[in-house]
Amino acid sequence: MESQLPSRSGRYMARVQTHLPALASDAARRDFIAREIGKWEERYTRFIATEGESHRRGDDAGQPTAFDFVETITALGALQARYARKAAA
């Protein structure tokens, strides 16, 4: 049976969604999201360059995968697009 626990990306995005209302404005939220995308892209680049070793946490199961990075960057991009549409309206 497949686990019903949220993915790494889902847990991270829940924290982001909780943090966003604490920011002063939509412009600040857009800036925050843009910075987060940049950080995740850097992490992903490092992950790929080291074939995953840069993010390995021992020999336990459940190590980060490339999919975790792509899913997170995609979710942040969708959130960024939502705020961009809101700004354009």
pLDDT digits (tens, 9 = 90+) for 6-60: 888 999 999 999 999 999 999 999 999 999 999 999 999 999 999 988 887 766 7
In a domain, 17, yes or no: no
Q: Which domain holds residue 45?
A: 24-53+65-89
Task: Tell whether 6 is covered by a domain.
Answer: no
Please state the pTM of the whole predicted model: 0.85
Number of domains in the chain: 1
Q: How many CB atoms lie within 10 A of CB 73?
A: 19
Rounded to whole angstroms, the Cα distance separating 52 from 20 reads 30
- Whether 37 is in a domain gets the answer yes
Whether 78 maps to a domain, the answer reads: yes
Provide the token pair at 51. Answer: 């074939």
In a domain, residue 86? The reply is yes
More confident residue, 4 or 43: 43
Average pLDDT over residues 51-72: 84
In this prediction, residue 47 carries a pLDDT of: 94
Closest CA to 27 of 89, 88, 87, 82: 87
Cβ–Cβ under 8 Å, residues 4 and 54: no
